[in-house]
């Protein structure tokens, strides 16, 4: 018996090896001279004529042999892939978080999908906007958002004033300097609102996603450790194709 993770471990190597062998075979059969041979002998008209040695070129590539080699290589690939795909139909495991079974008998292919999606979810949560930690925030029931405590500030207005530098006399008018004075004319009360999240909430969500990611990985490893039956598909296919 074989384990699914063993098949997964060799699958990539088998694929690359088969691709190389098939490519080599394709290039071989494109080289016409390698498939061609010749044999010729020379005989002069009479015994006094020049004697020339025979010439021959052997066939270096047999198409039947190339077919056989390709068949053997692809048979291995077909068998490995069939074994993996048949096993994927039966390899299952449950996702358990903190001792609680969250998902029951999940196929290994879905566990792989879930693992990738949770990576994207983790990235998304990590990008969520958070509240400014310099402020004190409370939830506002009326706006369904967060709000700060009211901050009161003054509104001022410049009012021109006269400053008498010298009083008027019989000979000289009064010397007056005009200047502007900031006078409080009102008050602003500012409350900031935000739709962001507290950092502690984002941290909590990230921790939950991470915990589920770990559980899915454990389940995938368990599913990939299942005992499987080796499938022999390639021989059947190529015995039909090349018989």
Does residue 45 fall inside a structural domain?
yes
Same domain, 76 and 12: yes
**Residue ranges making up the domain that contains 16:** 2-91+225-241
Instruction: Single out the residue of 110, 120, 116, 118 nearest to residue 223, CA to CA.
Output: 110
Does residue 173 fall inside a structural domain?
yes
Same domain, 31 and 80: yes
Domain count, the chain: 2
Does residue 23 fall inside a structural domain?
yes
Instruction: Single out the residue of 4, 190, 11, 181 nearest to residue 90, CA to CA.
Output: 4
Same domain, 231 and 161: no
Q: Which residues does residue 158 pair with via DSSP β-bridges, in sequence order?
A: 182
Work out the number of other CB atoms within 10 angstroms of the CB of residue 146.
Answer: 19
- pLDDT values of the chain reduced to their tens digit, one per residue, 243 residues: 678 888 888 888 999 999 999 898 888 878 877 778 888 888 888 888 888 888 888 878 788 888 888 999 999 999 999 988 888 888 899 999 999 999 999 999 899 999 999 999 999 999 999 999 999 999 998 888 999 999 999 999 998 888 877 777 877 787 888 888 889 999 999 999 999 999 999 999 999 999 999 999 999 999 888 888 888 999 999 888 887
Same domain, 166 and 229: no
Question: How far apart, in Å, are the Cα atoms of 148 and each of 131, 136, 171?
Answer: 10, 6, 63
Does residue 50 fall inside a structural domain?
yes
Q: Give every CB contact of residue 100 below 8 A, 6+ residues apart in sequence.
A: none
The CA distance from 181 to 115, in Å, is 67
């Amino acid at each position: 018996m074989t384990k699914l993770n063993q098949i997964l471990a060799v699958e990539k190597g088998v694929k690359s090896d088969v691709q190389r062998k098939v490519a080599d075979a394709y290039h071989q059969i494109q080289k016409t001279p390698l498939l061609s041979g010749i044999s010729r002998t020379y005989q002069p008209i009479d015994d006094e004529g020049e004697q020339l040695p025979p010439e021959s070129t052997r066939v270096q590539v047999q198409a039947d042999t190339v077919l056989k080699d390709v068949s053997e290589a692809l048979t291995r690939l077909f068998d490995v892939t069939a074994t993996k795909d048949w096993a994927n139909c039966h390899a299952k495991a449950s996702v358990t978080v903190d001792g609680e079974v969250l998902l029951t008998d999940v196929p290994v292919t879905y566990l792989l999908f879930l693992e990738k999606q949770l990576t994207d979810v983790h990235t998304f949560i990590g990008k969520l906007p958070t509240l400014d930690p310099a402020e004190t925030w409370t939830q506002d029931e009326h706006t369904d958002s967060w709000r700060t405590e009211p901050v009161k500030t003054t509104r001022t207005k410049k009012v021109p004033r006269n400053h008498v530098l010298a009083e008027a006399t019989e000979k000289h008018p009064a010397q007056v300097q005009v200047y502007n004075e900031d006078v409080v004319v009102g008050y602003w009360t500012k409350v900031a609102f935000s739709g962001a999240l507290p950092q502690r909430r984002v941290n909590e969500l990230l921790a939950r996603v991470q915990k589920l990611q770990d559980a899915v990985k454990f389940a995938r490893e368990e599913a990939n450790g299942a005992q499987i039956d080796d499938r022999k598909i390639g021989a059947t296919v190529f015995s039909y194709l090349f018989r």
